[in-house]
Structure 1
């Protein structure tokens, strides 16, 4: 096989791999100004792939009780918002607390802490695509 053909096939394989649904997508709860914690299945949304990589949760304390806003967010926007509101996160009337997290449905109710399991040493799913991509790039540089 000619090197140019091998290069084209390897680049096609790389493109297919990256666009085959292995892109990172997170699910978050999404609601606007709810007076109850909207952590139910009907509030689950798929965030925009490779753009919205975090879940955001706002807890507002108002005269009529606690209000929740939950959404998908980009890491930059969420971290800026949460740091800008830290001084207003008192838990008292007119308090605004914004938190960011990057695991599926992490803007839901607080999870009870569990003891570490044997799966804690499993591969991080965020790093799984790195090996095949490196192999394709290595083959590309050797063969092309």
Structure 2
């Protein structure tokens, strides 16, 4: 019971510090994929939690719009334009993602290294740094 109380108090104290700020590429109507350092922006904490990428196919070529977005607005926009994402003239494709700079160019898939884990093997992630004191404290109370 004491562990639960201490854990709850720590989460309340550390909760505001857990907010993460995502970085995205931002540009308007560029005819080249604006995925270079001068187009990186910091999105608004607790408001813009996703990156958005729009690819428009026009008469004069492919145009890109990239920005920070709230998850709700981005997901609504991407689903609303899904029927227009054909890759042909006048096509509009909107995608949303939630990792830093994920609205940049697509990463080329690399062949798995010989010692790589199986594709379906469970992956162990790292704990966020603010949770480390909580973990250490809980182990001392047990």
Q: Same fold per TM (> 0.5)?
A: yes
Query: CA offsets, 1:82-122, max 9 Å, x none?
Result: 0000110111111000001111111000001243856x824
* 1:125 CA drift (Å): 5.6
Q: Does 1:99 align with 2:73?
A: no
Rounded to whole Å, the distance in 1 between the matches of 2:14 and 2:109 is: 36
Q: Does 1:70 align with 2:72?
A: no
Rounded to whole Å, the distance in 2 between the matches of 1:126 and 1:17 is: 12
Q: Does 1:29 align with 2:17?
A: no
Give the corresponding residue for 1:19.
16
- SS in structure 2 at match of 1:19: helix
* 1:127 CA drift (Å): 9.7
Rounded to whole Å, the distance in 2 between the matches of 1:127 and 1:80 is: 32
TM-score by length of 2: 0.73
TM-score by length of 1: 0.72
Q: Does 1:123 align with 2:120?
A: no
Rounded to whole Å, the distance in 1 between the matches of 2:127 and 2:76 is: 26
Q: Does 1:113 align with 2:109?
A: yes
**Structure 1 unaligned spans of 5+:** 1-6, 140-144
Greater per-residue helix proportion: 1
Query: CA offsets, 1:29-71, max 9 Å, x none?
Result: 0001111100000000111112111110000011111100000
Pick aligned residue for 2:77 from 78, 81, 92: 81
Rounded to whole Å, the distance in 2 between the matches of 1:126 and 1:80 is: 29
Contact between 1:54 and 1:100, CA under 8 Å: does it hold in 2? yes
Contact between 2:14 and 2:130, CA under 8 Å: does it hold in 1? no
Q: Please, what is the CA RMSD of the aligned residues?
A: 3.1
**Structure 2 unaligned spans of 5+:** none
